[in-house]
Structure 1
Amino acid sequence: MAGQPHAATERSLRTSRLMEGITQALSVQHNNVVYDMKSAGQDIITLSLGEAFFDLPLPSFDGLTTPGLHHYSHSRGLPELRRLLAKYYGSGFALPVDPDTEVIVTAGSKAAIYMALMAIVDPGDQVIVPEPYWLSYPAQIRMCQGEPVMVPHDVPVFDFERFVTARTRAVIINNPNNPSGHVYTRAELEYLHELADRHGLLLIVDEAYNEFIPPGAEFISAGSLDPEKRHTVTVNSMSKNYGVSGWRIGYLIANERLTEQILKINQHLVTCAPTILAAYLAERFDDLLDVTRPQIQRTVQLRNRVAGWFADEGIDTMPGTSTFYLFVHLGGSGLDSTEFAGRLLRESAISVVPGIGYGDSCDRYVRVSVGSESEERIARAVAAIRDLVESTTPEHLTSRPRSRVESGV
């Protein structure tokens, strides 16, 4: 009948059941809406982006000495960049790294995590994922036909063993944590290594925010407690630490046997990280860190001041001191995190990410990122979040003292 698709066409349009079950990345989906609103001329206080905006020199590729800038390069990553990354971890974080056999540079840390999972997960294998998790972990595990096993956010690290089964293959953590800002302690990391040893697990550690630590705080790279890399994969992002998130440059560190498997995946999916961008980062490695590190510290300090503003308003945030994120509790609000974020965007032109994207136990939170807005606009957003919490809390108090945020302090 005219107007109805042929049976063969219906079959050709069918998509895989696996991908039908995968949802969009909530933060990316949310920010796409924000981009559309901004394109339409709306002024949005954007506290939903997973990046910090730095004042960086406009990149110039003039004077780069790396040959073949417009062509393919080594699928492990430019040798010069691998050597610098090995030195960065060896001297900075006490993790010895062989740049020839233990590093792979690829198109962002997100791709590196997925490739590591592809290399170790068989159908039906389980991966333990503590909440709040970086929101792509469960989807990537499912895309490998594995099963994510979520650990609610109120379960201590030292109780993770009760989530281990005969099918458990790995544990994946984000340190420092996006969205809470928690930094794993030495005792917590030592426990996770012992857990991996006892049960033959792999420990995948996403350290994409390792530079975003306040002065005097201790950051321990998990790999430094497993220098032979018997069971540890360390993943990191040059995109975050250099303020070039749109460049998509990330890397992983693992033992030679595992990197050989991941290398095959990288070759079939990516070939190599963008050569000209990798060359720029290699030849400007220390200079760029000299530019970004002071700005990173100012961003972390702002993050912790904003935590104080929320506390002044009687609004709790999940414990943490690092990154540029806060996981903000909705208090007595009758809204779930999706409803809250939607109303905040519609009514106050402020974008945050619903906490449900970071685990089912996190639906009483929203993620607030302070990396891309001025202090004055963030203060306005804090006041608006407070007002929405109060207005959606049954029998909330209407009289309260004037806050520091309202006073402009």
Structure 2
Amino acid sequence: MPSAATHLADVAQALSIRYNNRVYEMKARGEDVIVLSLGEAFFDIPLFSFAEMPMPESYHYNSSRGNPELRRQLAAYYGRRYGVAVNADTEILVTAGSKAAIHMSLMAILDPGDEVLVLEPAWVSYTEQVKLCHGVPVMVPIDETVFGLDRYVTARTKAIIVNNPNNPSGQVMTRAELEHLHALAERHDLFLLSDEAYSEFLLDDAFISCGALDPEKRHTLVCNSISKNHGMSGWRIGYVIASPALIAEVLKINQHLITCPPTILEHYLVRHFDAILEVTRPQIAEVVRKRGEMARYLESCGIGRLPGDATFYLFASIEPSTLGSEEFCTRLLEEHHVCAVPGIGYGTSCDRYIRISVGTESDERVKHGIRQVRRLIEATAPAPIHFRLEPAAAV
């Protein structure tokens, strides 16, 4: 009997998706679960009219680069919002979600055995996508800074993955950090693959696109998503911005794997792009505000976290629990009906953390979930501990 490809044995399931699938199973049995694991915010978005969609054109294939008008809108958006000039004809490609955009970008730049620096905490799919492209992920531990990356570069290093703002910590890179990365890329002839899927999730203008510091796109690929910033994760629309030469390579891959993004959804976005952003931006501001409130609540409970002010995630410490993050999250789900994502999914140096998302539940349910985290930490600590807790939240 033939067997599966041997290299897949080293590729893990997406840990966040595995836990969310368990939530779906529990809910199907009628169980109430506080979901702090989903990587999306549940915005209230009206359904704009489909009546003006071009028919029968919307039933058929469209350009493998993406709808030309949508590309113009996305190029204008990056130029207006982040100061990144993008040629809509040659420097952008729209595909079925930013996850596919990142993977196809890696396929376009990696040869077998090439190394990719991945900074922890790292979104769960970076390492596995590098492996699927027959590359070698080189993990940079959580206590290392951007300014110490030189020591991880070897003759085989081909790229650095930049996640800005970071999922799961919410940290935003400074201009000095980005300038150092670009200098490193120039010095060692490396690509910077910048995942900017949470670029709208800030309350100020601290975010700087990686592309803004490489206007000629000599070594930068930027991936972004309609899923997060437009609150439309189920539509699976993402895009990549890069040099014309690299986009031409990604185009080949897109043609053979995807063909094109969903035609009718592209037409919908062409007609309602700005209107959707007008609806989601106030809600983005509200969820980031809520994140700040929950960060303060974590602190009031005596629970630490990694620094960061963006996105809708908190990377919370489970110290001094004796459990690893996966066992901790399994018990949290089974015993307390609260689902969070184990930190080990974001790198081996992150096993003392869990990711908490505040985008899908009410304030009170998120706080209740945090209190259950605290209870499990107390129950699994090597010695009795007493966290501080504001009186109104006592349980």
Normalising by structure 1, we get a TM-score of: 0.95
- Whichever residue aligns with residue 72 of structure 1, its letter is Y
Q: For residues 299 and 195 of structure 2, what CA distance do their matches in structure 1 show?
A: 29
CA distance in 2, matches of 1:91, 1:354: 37
Q: What secondary structure, in the 3-state scheme, does the structure 1 residue paired with 2:298 have?
A: helix
Q: What is the aligned counterpart of 1:246 among 234, 245, 256?
A: 234
Q: What residue is the counterpart of 2:273 in the other structure?
A: 285
Aligned to 1:4: none
Structure 2 vs 1, CA of residues 257 and 404 (structure 1 numbering), >3 Å: closer, same or farther? farther
Q: After the TM superposition, which of the residue ranges 134-143 and 55-64 deviates more from structure 2?
A: 55-64
Deviation string 1:338-365 (CA, Å, 9 cap, x unpaired) is: 1110111011100000000000000000
Map of 1:330 onto structure 2: 318
Structure 1: how far apart are the matches of 2:122 and 2:292?
A: 21
Higher mean alpha-carbon deviation, 54-63 vs 270-279, is at 54-63
Cα offset, 1:23, TM superposition: 1.3
Shift of 1:58: 2.5
Q: d(CA) in 2 for partners of 1:397 and 1:77?
A: 56
Matches within 5 A, 1:300-339: 300-339=288-327
Q: What does residue 297 of structure 1 align with?
A: 285
Report whether the alignment pairs 1:341 with 2:336: no
Q: Which position in structure 2 is the counterpart of 1:262?
A: 250
Residue identity in the other structure for 1:403: E
Is the CA contact 1:309–1:405 (under 8 Å) kept in the aligned structure 2?
no
Separation of aligned partners in 1, 2:308 and 2:301: 18
What's the counterpart of residue 375 of structure 1?
363
Q: Which residue of 1 aligns with 2:393?
A: 406
Cα 1:41/1:168, change in 2 over 3 Å? same
SS in 1 for 2:124: coil
SS at match of 2:197: coil
1:331 to partner: Cα distance: 1.4
1:294 alignment partner, SS class: helix
Number of residue-to-residue matches in the alignment? 395
Could you tell me how far apart the structure 2 residues matched to 1:51 and 1:120 are? 29
Quick check: 1:380–1:405 contact (8 Å CA) kept in 2?
Answer: no
Call closer, same or farther: CA 1:67–1:78 in 2, change over 3 Å.
farther
Q: CA deviation at 1:267?
A: 0.2
Residue 69 of structure 1 aligns to a residue in which SS? Answer: helix
Q: Report the identity percentage.
A: 55
Match of 1:49 in 2: 38
Matches within 5 A, 1:176-187: 176-187=165-176
Which residue identity is paired with 1:341?
A: C
SS in 1 for 2:57: coil
Alignment of 1:389 with 2:377, yes or no, is: yes
Q: 1:139 to 1:212 in 2, by over 3 A?
A: same
TM-fit CA distance, 1:281: 1.0
Counterparts of 1:153 and 1:126 in 2: how far apart (Å)? 19
Separation of aligned partners in 2, 1:155 and 1:209? 23
Q: Secondary structure at the match of 2:354?
A: strand
Kindly report which structure 2 residues correspond to 1:163-182, keeping only aligned pairs within 5 A, or say none: 163-182=152-171
Greater than 2 Å deviation, 4+ residue runs: 64-67
Find out whether 1:36 has 2:10 as its counterpart: no
Q: Deviations over 1:249-275 (max 9, x none)?
A: 000000000000000000000000000
Distance in 2, matches of 1:123 and 1:385, equals 42
Cα distance change, pair 124–334 in 1 and its aligned pair in 2 (3 A): same
Closer, same or farther: CA 401–19 of 1 in aligned 2, 3 Å: closer
CA distance in 1 between counterparts of 2:134 and 2:389 reads 53
Q: How many Å apart are 1:21 and its aligned residue?
A: 2.0
CA–CA separation in structure 2 for the residues paired with 1:243 and 1:402: 33
TM-score (norm: length of structure 2)? 0.98
Which amino acid in the other structure matches residue 65 of structure 2?
R
The reply to whether residue 209 of structure 1 matches residue 203 of structure 2 is no
The secondary structure found in structure 2 opposite 1:252 is strand
Matching residue's letter, 1:318: L
Which of 159, 181, 187 is the aligned partner of 1:198?
187
Q: 1:206 and 1:401 mapped to 2: Cα distance?
A: 37
Structure 1 unaligned spans of 5+: 1-9
* SS state at 1:327 partner: strand
Query: What is the CA-CA distance between 1:109 and the residue it aligns to?
Result: 0.3
- CA distance in 2: counterparts of 1:122 and 1:67, whole angstroms: 41
The match for 1:189 among 178, 188, 192 is: 178
Is the CA contact (8 Å cut-off) linking 1:66 and 1:279 kept in structure 2? no
Tell me which of 113, 138, 143 is aligned to 2:127: 138
Q: The residue matched to 1:72 in structure 2 has which SS? A: coil
Unaligned stretches of 5+ residues in structure 2 = none
The structural deviation recorded for 1:67 is: 6.7
